[in-house]
Amino acid sequence: METQLIRTFLVVARTRNFTTAAGELHLSQSTVTAQIQTLERTLDVRLFDRVPRGAHLTDAGRRLLPAADAVQDAEQRLRAAARADAVPGGVVAVAAGDTLCSLHLPEVIASLRGSHPGIGVHLRPAGTRAALDALLSGRADLALLLEDTVEHPDAHTEVLAREPLQFVGPPGHPLTTRDTPATWRELAAEDVYLHEEGCSYSDRIAAHLRATAAGDRLLTRLGSSEAVRNCVAAGLGISVLPRSAVHHALAAGTLRPVNGPAVDDVPVRLARHRTRFASPAVRVVAQALTDHFTAG
């Protein structure tokens, strides 16, 4: 049995769509269909129910998923063993939020180009849920997460650093000129812009704000830190973001710090799949990320 058939099966199972899988595999849709049909004939079982909007795994297909994943993992281990003396190379996919992608990863990639020119890093900007899903499904080799906790049996995480959070407002906002810290009640009386739901530190701030008895001011969740910064800079409200995400805006004066309640720093976590084989290139990139954050 060709291992390419296994790979195609896994991609179709994840994407639930033959056309999407064909694009990811750089194959024609007819080739993907033929490979799945070949695998089904070989195993003498139907793997997918074809429906107008995609493809759904049959019960047999779901039963085969763990074994198919193990075959793909074994193939990667075999290839790595055969190239044990080779210089690490290949493309490593890293999923991370926009703040980490824009402020930290370019420096890591530039360093790797000098030390390991055979390794390419493909960035997948994504929120926490999407980044974790990419890691668990195999679309990403590593994930960087700004999260208080990550709870999934197949994800192993380690804390590389801790990122302070900073309350910010637009220039001229009354809270930016106070010496005494604003209370949660006072903050809840403002329009507040936070990162998307599912971001644990933003969810934590939102919970504090909703727990107060202050009115029904606007609480808006946006999908990127840049969008949050732009709304605050335009005078629409206040926010709290990782300090590294607002450092340049504070220096430029487009945002001003707000003296707010004490809040815990948010951990920067490097996540890996707990059982999937990590190639030499993946291990090099993981070490480069660790060195970058621990050196800071």
CATH code of the domain in which 185 resides: 3.40.190.10
Residue that finishes a domain, picked among 34, 53, 82: 82
What is the per-residue pLDDT across 194-224, written as a single tens digit (0 to 9) for each?
988 888 889 999 999 988 866 567 899 998 8
User: Per-residue b/e over 155-194, b at no fewer than 16 CB within 10 Å?
Assistant: bebeebbebebbbbbbeebebbeeeeebebebbbbbebbb
- Check whether 291 has a pLDDT greater than 90: yes
For residues 8 and 135, state if they share a domain.
Answer: no
Residue 214 confidence (pLDDT): 61
**For the chain, how many residues are written?**
296
Residue 4 pLDDT class (50, 70, 90 cuts): confident
For residues 273 and 212, state if they share a domain.
Answer: no
For residues 244 and 216, state if they share a domain.
Answer: yes
The answer to whether the beta carbons of residues 255 and 168 sit under 8 Å apart is yes
Residue that finishes a domain, picked among 82, 111, 133: 82
- Check whether 296 has a pLDDT greater than 70: no
What is the per-residue pLDDT across 87-136, written as a single tens digit (0 to 9) for each?
677 889 999 988 888 888 889 999 999 999 999 999 888 888 888 888 88
For residues 98 and 172, state if they share a domain.
Answer: no
Structure tokens at 228: 């949050």
Give the dihedral of Cα atoms 289, 294, 295, 296; nearest 10 deg. Answer: 100
CA dist., res. 174 & res. 292, Å (int)? 38
Domain count, the chain: 3
Residue 237 pLDDT class (50, 70, 90 cuts): very high
**Mean pLDDT calculated for residue range 273-280:** 83
Residue 168 confidence (pLDDT): 97
Residue 15 confidence (pLDDT): 84
CA dist., res. 137 & res. 105, Å (int)? 22
Mean pLDDT score across all residues of the chain: 88
For residues 44 and 110, state if they share a domain.
Answer: no
What is the per-residue pLDDT across 8-65, written as a single tens digit (0 to 9) for each?
888 888 888 888 888 888 889 889 999 999 999 999 999 998 887 788 899 998 898 8
Compare 161 and 215 and report the one with higher pLDDT: 161
- Domain enclosing residue 196, as ranges: 165-264
Residue that finishes a domain, picked among 82, 99, 127: 82
Backbone angles phi, psi at 95, to 5 degrees: -95, 135
For residues 122 and 147, state if they share a domain.
Answer: yes
For residues 240 and 210, state if they share a domain.
Answer: yes
Residue 46 confidence (pLDDT): 92
For residues 226 and 108, state if they share a domain.
Answer: no
What is the per-residue pLDDT across 64-98, written as a single tens digit (0 to 9) for each?
888 888 887 777 777 766 666 566 778 899 999 88
